[in-house]
Structure 1
Amino acid sequence: MNEHDDDVSMSGHEERKELAAGLPDWGRLAVPIPPHTGTYYGESDESEGAHLRDYWRAVRKRLWLVVGVVVLVTLLAAIYMGRQPDVFVAQTRVQVDLEIAGASVGAAKNQSVIINNPVNDPTYFNTQLQILTSPGLLRRVAKTLDLEHNAAFRNTQTGGGRSTWRSLMKTIGVGDPAAPLTAPKDELPLTSSVAPAVSREDLAEARRLAPYVNALQAGLRVEPVKETRTAGYVKDTRLIDITFRHQDPQVAAKIVNAIADTFVLANLEKKTETNTSTGDFLQRRVAELQSQIRSGEEQLANYAKNNQIITLDNEQNIVAERLTGLNRQLLEAENERKLAEASYRAASEPRAAGAIADSTSKAVDDARSKLDELRQKRSKLATRYTDEYPEVVEVDTQIAELEKQLKENRGRATNTALTNLETRYRQTLAREESLRAALSRQRGETVTQNDAGINYRIIQQEIATNRNLLDGLLQRSRENDVVLAGTPNNISVVDYALAPDYPVGPRRTQGVMLAFLLSLAFGAGLSLFLEYLNDTVRSSEDVETLLHLPALSVIPTAGGTVGRLLPGARALQRRRHQIPTGDERPELLLNVDQRSPLAEAYRHLRTSVLLSRAGQAPRTLLVSSSLPSEGKTTTSINTAISLAQTGARVVVVDADMRRPCLHKIFDQPNGQGLSTILSSEMTREEMLAAVRFHEPSGLHLLGAGPVSPNPAELLGSEQMRNLIAALSSKFTHVIIDSPPIVSFTDGVLISTMVEGVLLVVRGGKTPRSVVRRSRQVLSEVGAKVLGVVLNNVTLQRDDYYYYRYYHSYYETKPDGGVAAEA
């Protein structure tokens, strides 16, 4: 060791002596302390149930979640209520008196009976309330006001400030109901054999107006008149208030007045339905008779005209003259047909086809003339040249093309001529047949003309009879109109609505406050639910209540303590104590402020360990955990450092032979170690010689050594017991770091060889069931569990508020000094 190393070693010993000054020799402490019983921890005079403060802590622990929910929901509610348009209410009042039976036309001619019979039906008033909101009545209102084309009504019902909110609601699946499905093409019959039910046109109209009827029903409210003060229904009255809510005050007043007028009119139509039906029947019958009379007169005139009836004496001469003319025309048609037939048959002969084409087609004549010229030219060239001469070949080609063209023209000309002759023949034949049929009909008409006078007189008698019936129906129709005019209506409008001046909603402040309260309750409930789902060990109270073990200490997270050093102090301290840096190095007590909560927590753990047994502090300790990454190695080292600060000789043994890390933390060689000792026969001196002293920390270290294929067999051997005995004879405290208990049996085997076991639990991470299992395993083998070390706990939580008080106790004064201790 060089001079610099000697200085560092001496300074390290001096620091440890200063830290140990004033502390008692805990290794020689022999104060009788009552042992912990199995029922001490977890039992209390108070009830173990939840208290209001527990609920408050659970909510406060997730205060930002509650605040976030409240702010988000309240903000959305405020935006939504702010985008809601003003709503106006218009009111119309109608009066429904006792029903009076209508009048009907009397049975006797020119008599009518008027019956006034008040009917006091208790269900009649409630029936009228239902009729006011029925789709049929509202459909008439929609048609009367033409709401389909009313821009003021459609814009407020389909658009406006609610489009964004409706889109958001539709996105998450709770928006407006889906549009009605399109009606199928093949529908059930809408009429029966008895009487028509509803036409397809009415059904189509009802579907088209359905959105407007739904909008009217949504804004409509019908109820008996109420008292202004008590808001209760007024007794012994037959007044009905009709109110309608809408964003446009003019539209609201117009619609509610239209509903009242339509209601009054519909009631009157219902009361006069019988007489109206009678009047409709009479009007239809009158129209039918008038149509029959006009038709009869037209039939009589046409009959006389068609039969040439001017006078009944001259009708036979006219028919005979018509028959003679048809005979003459038929003879002429037969002669024309015979000539056309002869020409067509002659042209159909094969020998006559060429002659017909040559005589009828100019194209054929031109082609023949040109062909003759080419043949003459060919004859002249043949006398001078051979057949292969180019000019001769060209002429031959032209002759061949012209002959082909001539043949095609002849064929077309022949077909055209034959078609024309055939058409002429068929026309003459059709004319002959038509005249023959007309002659046959005329002969039949001539036979029936003798009855023309009788038929003429019959038509005249039918016209006279219909005129008599028409006069009687007109008289009955006038009587029915008199009855309809005298029918009373028991429903009337008392007060029509005026356009309201002030809106009645929406209640924006109440809506926002309700959203605030509901979101607050939901956020609190959500935080309590998350707290209920959290099945981890979170506080010392959980340890004592669930495991019935003492919580020896609560180790806070190191992130908040290292930052208390001045800038660069941590790196300087590492260099000073020769502690290597790296991502795998834990936070050791040598690197933190000794006034930090982390250092105080390990001093508290040291005190708890030294006072954990009556008479004498435990010399051999096993530090283990239930699961990996709970901080057992860090706790082992820091506990050893804290004990070494009292001046005691402490050795740390790395018994985690599956994942050894002690040599990495202190940057020590791992060629020989625990596995070497346990796998070979060594004397006590040879065992102790394998222990190395780490001067910066003041600890003696025994690494795990090379990785063994059977660590459980080695750790459970008699050699392991001999090693522990040898170490405890030389060192004040032996700290053994073992693998997790639940995962491997290594720690369980070692727990039977030591005087005490420290169980490290990571706060807020380790499940309670796993910790209970570890406690059960250790109890089954008879291990002496001293207590639980709750590691890596966040001091900001309410469960550890006393550590925050300690932290603030050492806060630096504004002038740079330290607050005086009380």
Structure 2
Amino acid sequence: MPNPDPLDLPPSLETSAPGSISDLHGVIRLLLDKSWLIVSCLVLALLAAAVYVERAPRVYAATTTVQVEQADAKVVKVEQVVSEDMRSQETLNTVAQKLSNLALLTQVLEENHLLPPEGTVVTNGSKTVTRENIISQFEKNVKTSLRRNTRLIDITVRNTDPGLAARLANSLVKNYLGQDALVQSSVNEEAGVFLRREADRLKKKLEASDQALQDYRKQVGSVSLEQSQDVITPQLQDLNERLTQSKASLVQAQGAYQDSLKMSTNTEDLLAYPQIAIEPDMVQISTDLARLENDFAVIRQRYREAHPKYILAASSLAGLKGQLAANALKARARIQESLRIAYQNVLTAKQGLETQMHEVETNAMKLSDSAVRFNVLTRELRSDQALFDSVIGRLGETSVAGQITAERIRVIQPALVPELPASPKIKLIFALALFGGLAVGLGISFVLNSMDTSFRTVDEVEHYLALPVLGAIPKLPKTEGKGNDLAAAQDSNSPNAEVFRTLRATLSMLGRENDRKTYLFTSSLPGEGKTFTSVNYAVSLAQQGLRTLLVDIDLRRPMIEKFFLGKTSRLPGVTDYFLGRKKFDELCQPHQDVPKLSWMAAGSSVPNPSELLMSADFQKLLSEGLAHYDRIVIDTAPILPVSDTLLLAGKVQTVVLVVQACKTSRKAVERSVQLLKNASAPTGGVVLNLLPKRRLSGYYYSYHHGYGYGNYGEKAADKTSDDTRGNLASEARPENLL
């Protein structure tokens, strides 16, 4: 037979198996099974907490509460040299940190006579304590905390002496106030020295600036340039206004003059100008001309052109018109001349104002040039005067402020002597121990559960193997007596016997009776209880009235002979039948206590059991056995250590795989099932052995596992027998491990 691939395992059917951590019932079963571990961790944690509480020193905490003022208290309206915004969060945190600085802590310890002198080493028992050690320890025992959204700071001091803790807490605040006052006084003194030195320097500079200004006034010959500028400025404004008016008049005069030059020489056009028409001569001539034209009109109606009166009237009319034209031209000339003279006068006035304006502006520019230097010197003088006055004023304020002690914090609640210790916190410690113990216990339980790859419930077997569980055999305590007692042969009301009656009924329902006459019991590893299961199943068949033959074909480590006789003497059996040394009838031995039950030993030892089984006529053994018996039950070797069972599994009608619960690795069982499948074995199902009883439905048990078949032979059998008899001192070893 070819060896199957050892890695050819059946795939899992689901991602979440029954009884796993994700299953609620699995979690509950795990907690019940590991309750001893969880309780042990809990008890150990509580004991450790009790020991700690008992041995831990009692530490008392005294707290002083202070309030940080929003601003320095002011007796007079004088600003401090160093002013901080006491309302900012940064300032509040700074004050809280300053309350625990090393210099302040050292001062408090020295004030309370708790520090040895410099360079002194104090011996406390076997420990050497230095000055730095004491300060460092005191720093750890001092805690300052700013209350959220308030201006209150709590200063807490921890010490094993409650009175000393309160005294140190109050001393911290008192020394901080003194230290803060000393810092402010030192700052005021330094500021005073600086301000006096600065006042002397500014005084000399002020005197130099004043002298420079006076010298410049003498140089320019003016006491006050501001007054000169006050005179010139209105003059410039007046000239500017007059010049503007002159320019406007010039434009108007020029326009009038230009218009006069454009006047026509026609008499009628000239008479259209009012200034010509209203002249007396022009008015007289116009009147006479109108009268003469009227008279001429009458004469022209009466006389002809050759009449003397007509000629005289026409001559007078023409002379008068010529006179009117001559007078109009003269008036035109007079008007043009008058407008020209007016234009010339306005132009002369404008030029005079421009000349005067230029002279005044020239004087103003000269005065402005002088004023630049004058203004610079004046500003320097005023600046030096202002600085000098400010320094003198601040010097006076600093002198007054140095005599006032500004308190930035105010004690709200002084530290009182505590009555109860602050440490150890018994309730908190025991609560942490309780939850910590539970957490550790649960953690270890879940870790062990995740490391356990054995089958713990019937559902897990059916889920992973896709095979039915034919029976679940609980742990059966070994009854008193000699040898291995038959559980199936006990009282009919015995739960031990009922287990195998159930297995018998389950196997009988797998198919027709003719197809269920030969049964092969095997396991993945030795020590899982295949022999115990096969023996008691055979007994249950015999009790049903069926002639039953139990055959031991575990040729390497036979156990049936030891099970029935209490020892292994290698009686003739299967190997002798296969080798032809004995006949079938000679090898079958009836059981003395169970009617209709016979058994056949493994027989003499052979050097190569696999070769013997491969060459033997196993089918002949079955045929001859069925000729004399109704049922044949075969106990074989485990599957994984050797291949003996795989040579026989395909020749029987039903193969039953016995699995020890909570011990045999899941991978080992899956491998065995795959090997049986590759050998075309008619696997009927699985018997789950050594399941502990639980109040919940199903079974669960966790057991340290590991497997190895060891050497086959007498020594291995004896060793296994010895191991089988060994168990916990508190209870007997279960029978069903053979």
**C-alpha deviation, 1:590, in angstroms:** 6.5
User: Which one is further off, 658-667 or 757-766?
Assistant: 658-667
Which residue matches 1:91?
64
Which residue matches 2:579?
679
1:639 to 532, 537, 552: 537
The CA deviation string for residues 712-761 of structure 1, in whole angstroms up to 9 with x for no partner, is: 12212351221112112321111111111000110011101101111111
Which residue matches 2:165?
252
**C-alpha deviation, 1:762, in angstroms:** 1.2
Shift in CA distance, 49/793, structure 1 to aligned 2, threshold 3 Å: closer
Which residue matches 1:219?
141
**C-alpha deviation, 1:208, in angstroms:** 3.4
How far apart, CA to CA, are the structure 2 residues paired with 1:764 and 1:602?
Answer: 20
* TM-score, with structure 2 as normaliser: 0.57
The CA deviation string for residues 51-108 of structure 1, in whole angstroms up to 9 with x for no partner, is: 222211100112122122222212332443355526342314254564699xxxxxxx
Q: Does residue 712 of structure 2 align to residue 747 of structure 1?
A: no
- 3-state secondary structure, aligned to 1:715: helix
Q: Does residue 429 of structure 2 align to residue 531 of structure 1?
A: no
How far apart, CA to CA, are the structure 1 residues paired with 2:63 and 2:555?
Answer: 87
How far apart, CA to CA, are the structure 2 residues paired with 1:91 and 1:265?
Answer: 17
Which residue matches 1:69?
41
Residue identity matched to 2:654: G
How far apart, CA to CA, are the structure 2 residues paired with 1:48 and 1:72?
Answer: 28
The CA deviation string for residues 564-623 of structure 1, in whole angstroms up to 9 with x for no partner, is: xxxxxx54xxxxxxxxx3xxx434236644423221111111111111224645111111
- 3-state secondary structure, aligned to 1:628: coil
**C-alpha deviation, 1:149, in angstroms:** 6.3
Shift in CA distance, 47/504, structure 1 to aligned 2, threshold 3 Å: closer
The CA deviation string for residues 499-537 of structure 1, in whole angstroms up to 9 with x for no partner, is: 335436344234323422332233233222222222112
Shift in CA distance, 539/788, structure 1 to aligned 2, threshold 3 Å: same
Which residue matches 2:426?
508
How far apart, CA to CA, are the structure 1 residues paired with 2:70 and 2:16?
Answer: 77
2:677 to 779, 795, 801: 779
**C-alpha deviation, 1:642, in angstroms:** 0.7
Q: How does 1:146-545 map onto structure 2 within 5 Å?
A: 146-148=113-115, 208-224=130-146, 226=147, 232-234=148-150, 237=151, 239-273=152-186, 486=403, 488-495=405-412, 497-503=414-420, 505-506=422-423, 507-545=425-463
The CA deviation string for residues 620-657 of structure 1, in whole angstroms up to 9 with x for no partner, is: 11111111111111111111111000110111111111
- 3-state secondary structure, aligned to 2:633: strand
Q: Is there any run of 5+ residues in structure 1 with no aligned partner, and where? A: 1-37, 102-112, 160-178, 183-206, 227-231, 281-478, 563-569, 572-580, 804-822
Residue identity matched to 1:244: V
1:134 to 101, 105, 123: 101
Residue identity matched to 2:53: M
1:737 to 635, 647, 666: 635
How far apart, CA to CA, are the structure 1 residues paired with 2:11 and 2:671?
Answer: 18
**C-alpha deviation, 1:219, in angstroms:** 3.1
How far apart, CA to CA, are the structure 2 residues paired with 1:488 and 1:274?
Answer: 12
Shift in CA distance, 492/669, structure 1 to aligned 2, threshold 3 Å: closer
Q: Does residue 592 of structure 2 align to residue 695 of structure 1?
A: yes
Q: Does residue 26 of structure 2 align to residue 54 of structure 1?
A: yes
Which residue matches 2:213?
none
Residue identity matched to 1:269: L
Contact 1:590 1:697 in 2 (8 A): no
The CA deviation string for residues 274-326 of structure 1, in whole angstroms up to 9 with x for no partner, is: 5778999xxxxxxxxxxxxxxxxxxxxxxxxxxxxxxxxxxxxxxxxxxxxxx
**C-alpha deviation, 1:115, in angstroms:** 6.4
How high is the sequence identity, in percent, across the aligned residues? 29
How far apart, CA to CA, are the structure 2 residues paired with 1:233 and 1:118?
Answer: 23
**C-alpha deviation, 1:541, in angstroms:** 1.6
Which residue matches 1:120?
85
Q: How does 1:710-725 map onto structure 2 within 5 Å?
A: 710-725=608-623
Which residue matches 1:442?
none
How far apart, CA to CA, are the structure 1 residues paired with 2:484 and 2:18?
Answer: 40
Shift in CA distance, 739/240, structure 1 to aligned 2, threshold 3 Å: closer
Which residue matches 1:760?
658
**C-alpha deviation, 1:272, in angstroms:** 3.5
Contact 1:138 1:216 in 2 (8 A): yes
**C-alpha deviation, 1:39, in angstroms:** 12
How far apart, CA to CA, are the structure 2 residues paired with 1:717 and 1:616?
Answer: 27
- 3-state secondary structure, aligned to 2:550: strand
Contact 2:640 2:672 in 1 (8 A): yes
Residue identity matched to 1:131: K
Q: Does residue 473 of structure 2 align to residue 555 of structure 1?
A: yes
How far apart, CA to CA, are the structure 2 residues paired with 1:42 and 1:616?
Answer: 36
The CA deviation string for residues 432-481 of structure 1, in whole angstroms up to 9 with x for no partner, is: xxxxxxxxxxxxxxxxxxxxxxxxxxxxxxxxxxxxxxxxxxxxxxx9x9
Residue identity matched to 2:562: K
Contact 1:61 1:798 in 2 (8 A): no
How far apart, CA to CA, are the structure 1 residues paired with 2:700 and 2:182?
Answer: 85
Alignment root-mean-square deviation, CA? 4.2
Contact 2:65 2:414 in 1 (8 A): yes
**C-alpha deviation, 1:253, in angstroms:** 1.8
Contact 1:620 1:756 in 2 (8 A): yes
* TM-score, with structure 1 as normaliser: 0.52
Shift in CA distance, 44/796, structure 1 to aligned 2, threshold 3 Å: closer
- 3-state secondary structure, aligned to 1:554: strand
Q: Is there any run of 5+ residues in structure 2 with no aligned partner, and where? A: 1-9, 194-395, 702-738
Contact 1:89 1:504 in 2 (8 A): no
How far apart, CA to CA, are the structure 2 residues paired with 1:550 and 1:520?
Answer: 38
- 3-state secondary structure, aligned to 1:666: helix
Residue identity matched to 2:587: A
**C-alpha deviation, 1:492, in angstroms:** 4.9
Contact 1:91 1:496 in 2 (8 A): yes
Contact 1:622 1:754 in 2 (8 A): yes
Larger Rg: 2
Contact 2:488 2:501 in 1 (8 A): no
2:687 to 784, 789, 802: 789
- 3-state secondary structure, aligned to 2:617: helix
Shift in CA distance, 54/48, structure 1 to aligned 2, threshold 3 Å: closer
How far apart, CA to CA, are the structure 2 residues paired with 1:725 and 1:674?
Answer: 14
How far apart, CA to CA, are the structure 2 residues paired with 1:148 and 1:617?
Answer: 99
How far apart, CA to CA, are the structure 1 residues paired with 2:431 and 2:16?
Answer: 43
How far apart, CA to CA, are the structure 1 residues paired with 2:192 and 2:466?
Answer: 98
- 3-state secondary structure, aligned to 2:130: helix
User: Which one is further off, 733-742 or 210-219?
Assistant: 210-219
- 3-state secondary structure, aligned to 2:603: coil
Contact 2:637 2:644 in 1 (8 A): yes
Contact 1:77 1:512 in 2 (8 A): yes
The CA deviation string for residues 649-691 of structure 1, in whole angstroms up to 9 with x for no partner, is: 1111111111223223333964422111212388xxx333432
How far apart, CA to CA, are the structure 1 residues paired with 2:554 and 2:485?
Answer: 19
- 3-state secondary structure, aligned to 1:624: strand
Residue identity matched to 1:65: L
The CA deviation string for residues 373-418 of structure 1, in whole angstroms up to 9 with x for no partner, is: xxxxxxxxxxxxxxxxxxxxxxxxxxxxxxxxxxxxxxxxxxxxxx
